Structure 1
Amino acid sequence: MATSKVKQIHDFGQSIWLDFIDRKVIASGELKKLVEEDGVRGVTSNPAIFEKAISSSSDYNADIAELAKSDKTNEEIFFGLAVADIKLACDLLWPVYNEEDVVGADGYVSLEVSPFLALDTEGTISQARQLWDAVDKDNVMIKIPGTEPGLPAIQTAISEGININVTLLFGLDRYEAVTEAYISGLEQRAAQGLPVNHVSSVASFFLSRIDILVDPLLDEKGVGELKGEVAIASAKLAYQIYKRVFSSDRWKKLEEKGAVPQRLLWASTSNKNPAFKDTRYVEALIGPNTVNTIPLETLEAYRDHGDPASRLEDDLEAATQTMEKVREAGIDMDAITKQLEEEGIEKFNKPFQKLLDAIEQQK
């Protein structure tokens, strides 16, 4: 049997994680099959994914009824359900996490703090600790939005040895600030004489949403030939920041103590513009020491007609020129990324509230 095209991506140093979780995909053996046959090496979740899982299935009804007998809030009931699923997925991915050659390179399952906390530093730190303790698995990652108030929360969590998936990143300056939070957190740990190996983090750079917002502006400004290029160009430049930051003398001091780089993770990778190939945000950004988290339909599309090859550092000059042309056209990418962050928070707040309402109705 030919090796899956999805699995072949790993040959180029990129890990494919699945951007989906529910009880059915775990209990049916489908997730196990994806790990074995397609080389899936991690799982990510978010409020919208859990809302769909819980609202569209009866799989959770009995647990909701049981948890509702206590005095738990609807949010506490949700996290009770989510933690149970995350634990199962962590156990299933444990062999990947525990591979002998590089223990802890992959095998992670991500669980996000409440999106209502996106601008609340102390609330985020508190809930990150709670979820880390509740799951109690070395291969869980707690997702924290890379908002300005999220940065000190990320640093604190890393300093406490909590694996962090930094989510909702759209801009290069904010991404670099996230690398600073990660490194500073590890330095705090090292200064206390605590181990920095086996602390892991990814920085999730969102892609398709950038193009959705920017492409109509490109037409207006007379640079429509750049449509579909801005997100990929931004990602390529982010990777250059990654390479610079994680080859610095400052980083090497931590590396000598066993620290591992905070990998870039490509998120929001399902193409939403029918004019482009449905695998474009996978195809263009395959490269070493990165992660791509993809929904099931994109994974299936790539399995069918993907073309695995390392392209992340192709045409770097063109990527730089793309971003320069965008700026010259009068499009303010700082304003764009700020808008995307605000919309991203809202896009998670709405399904999370819908989820809490659905739990209320099922109690």
Structure 2
Amino acid sequence: MSRLQQLNEAGQGVWLDFVNRGFLEDGGLKKLVDQDGLTGVTSNPSIFEKAMGHSDRYNDSIKSAVASGSKAATDLYETLAVEDIRKAADTLRPVYDRLDARDGYVSLEVSPYLANKTDETIAEARRLWAMVDRPNLMIKVPGTKAGVPAIRTLIEDGINVNVTLLFAVEAYQAVARAFIEGLEARVAKDEPIGRIASVASFFLSRIDTQVDEQLDSVVEAGGDNAGRAKMLKGTIAIASAKRAYAWYCEMIAGERWRKLADKGAMPQRLLWASTSTKNPDYSDVLYVETLIGPDTVNTLPPDTMDAFRDHGTVAQTLATGQDEVAAELKELAGLGIDLEAITDDLVTNGVKKFSDAFDALLEAVDEKRKRFADGNRVNEQSQAG
């Protein structure tokens, strides 16, 4: 049993934070499913920009689309993305069936341009859900203030949702309540809730990157606080995640959730995202080893997955150390560092990063579209001559 399979045994789903047509067509995803027990895949604009913009494996599909009539870059991207997501969903379908819908999902994100638009997010999520037409699809919706009511509506619709860009425990609590409200709305209409899945994606390394910058400033200033600040580096993302999980455990033990569970509801699992270690001074499996526990998912980029397969340690770590968590968060506030302000900025910057990646993605797809369209015109002129 590989270390990644051991994570599954510990109750944690292992997802891959990567998708690429060549990887899918050459059997790379199936190999991870068969050999490492992989149970899911995520995508985002940054991943698709790298895939579509820098791989020739999409060229035939683009040429075909151009030949059948020029398409706008957005429509062309969507066509390509849906093809990839369907392939990934079909590869994961045996996992989905074996686990009775508890896992085996692939995620596709709504346009980051809609992050602060509730009604538009709902409409696009419904449209993408219908286009992909796979029961093991999750629609990714950002956990912004505008995203929360969209999540509630989509769960009420029976659409699986991956809530993305969560940095603060309070933001996670808001989307968890929206998930519950969506299920309760279905129950009120006597509609089934037993196969509706959701994850709440809590981003980690970005938190530490921003917090550590402010801690470094305290260290550089010297004085009594310098040692305290140095000890906190690389701890706050993990502390936040453990605090979120503690709240989750309390929530599912409550009567409100038990009523839904009695009707077959599956819990909205916490998913650890942004798990590659940005600081070379930290372990390259820091955000895996410290957050292992039941009813969770860790979505790993390929390098982090390889690292954990090679030298990761599996132990039930997530539910431990709550006293240390409380002390670390209190100590951070005592140093004058405002975690809420940092996480608010991370949401804003995260939406911008995905929007910028989407801009680059559409530009890359459009460049290829134009190149192939120009090539077709040259061929037609040559044949006419």
TM value normalised by structure 2: 0.92
| C-alpha separation in 1, matches of 2:111 and 2:280 | 32
Give the Cα–Cα distance (whole angstroms) in 2 for the partners of residues 245 and 65 of structure 1. 51
Tell me by how many angstroms 1:257 deviates. 1.1
1:103 counterpart residue number: 100
Q: Does 1:270 align with 2:276?
A: yes
Question: Residue 115 of structure 1 contacts residue 349 of structure 1 at CA under 8 Å; is this kept in 2?
Answer: yes
Shift of 1:315: 1.2
2:60 matches 1:62? yes
Q: How far apart, in 1, do the equivalents of 2:165 and 2:62 lie?
A: 29
Contact persistence 2:72–2:366 (CA under 8 A): no
Q: In the alignment, is residue 357 of structure 1 matched against residue 360 of structure 2?
A: no
CA separation in 2, counterparts of 1:315 and 1:359? Answer: 48
1:128 is displaced (CA, Å) by: 0.2
Separation of aligned partners in 1, 2:254 and 2:128: 33
Superposition map of 1:7-156 within 5 A: 7-68=5-66, 69-70=68-69, 72-99=71-98, 102-156=99-153
- Kindly state the Cα deviation for residue 219 of structure 1 after the two structures are TM-superposed: 2.6
User: What is the alpha-carbon distance in structure 2 between the residues aligned to residue 155 and residue 67 of structure 1?
Assistant: 36
Q: Is 1:299 equivalent to 2:299 in the alignment?
A: no
Deviation at 1:248, TM superposition (A): 1.3
Q: Which has the higher mean CA deviation after the structures are superposed, 220-229 or 278-287?
A: 220-229
Counterpart position of 2:213:
216
Q: In the TM superposition, what are the counterparts of 1:322-341 in structure 2 within 5 Å?
A: 322-341=328-347
Distance, in Å, in 2 between the alignment partners of 1:90 and 1:296 is: 19
The Cα of 1:308 is off from its aligned counterpart by 1.1
Deviations 1:322-355 (A, max 9, x none): 1111111111111111100011111111111001
Secondary structure of the residue aligned to 1:323 is helix
Q: TM-score, normalised by structure 1?
A: 0.97
Does the aligned pair in 2 maintain the 1:171–1:334 contact within 8 Å?
Answer: yes
Match of 1:343 in 2: 349
Shift of 1:71: 5.5
- Corresponding letter in the other structure for 1:38: D
CA shift digits 1:167-221 (9 cap, x unpaired): 0000011100010110011111111111111000000000000000000211323
Rounded Cα–Cα distance in structure 1 between residues aligned with 2:158 and 2:286: 35
Q: Indicate the SS of the match to 2:57.
A: coil
- Aligned letter for 1:97? Y
- For residues 10 and 366 of structure 2, the distance between their equivalents in structure 1, rounded to whole angstroms, comes to 46
**Aligned residue number for residue 195 of structure 1:** 192
Question: 1:165-314 counterparts in 2 under 5 A?
Answer: 165-221=162-218, 222=226, 223-314=229-320
- Following TM superposition, by how much is the alpha carbon of 1:67 offset from its aligned partner in structure 2, in angstroms? 2.4
Aligned to 2:221: none
Structure (1/2) with the larger helix percentage? 2
- Map of 1:6 onto structure 2: 4
* 8 Å contact kept, 1:97–1:139: yes
Secondary structure, aligned partner of 1:155: helix
Q: Percent identity?
A: 50
User: Aligned AA for 1:307?
Assistant: T
Cα distance change of structure 1 residues 72 and 310 upon mapping to structure 2, 3 Å threshold: same
The gaps in structure 2 that reach 5 residues or longer are: 219-225, 370-385
Q: Distance in 1 between matches of 2:282 and 2:352?
A: 27
Q: Is the 8 A contact 1:152 1:181 kept in 2?
A: yes
**C-alpha distance 187-71 of structure 1, shift in aligned 2 (>3 A):** farther
Q: Secondary structure at the match of 2:212?
A: helix
Question: Residues 289 and 313 of structure 2 are in contact (CA less than 8 Å); yes or no, is this contact kept in structure 1?
Answer: yes
| Aligned alpha-carbon RMSD (Å) | 1.0
Q: Which amino acid aligns with 1:251?
A: W
1:97-116 deviations in Å (ceiling 9; x for gaps): 001xx401110000000111
- How many residues align structurally? 359
Q: Is the 8 A contact 1:179 1:245 kept in 2?
A: no
CA–CA distance in structure 1, aligned partners of residues 125 and 322 of structure 2: 37
Distance, in Å, in 2 between the alignment partners of 1:319 and 1:276 is 19
Q: Which runs of 5+ in 1 are unaligned?
A: none
How far apart are the structure 1 equivalents of 2:63 and 2:147?
Answer: 34
Could you list the structure 1 runs, at least 4 aligned residues long, displaced by more than 6 angstroms after superposition.
Answer: none
Aligned to 1:109, what secondary structure does the other structure show?
A: strand
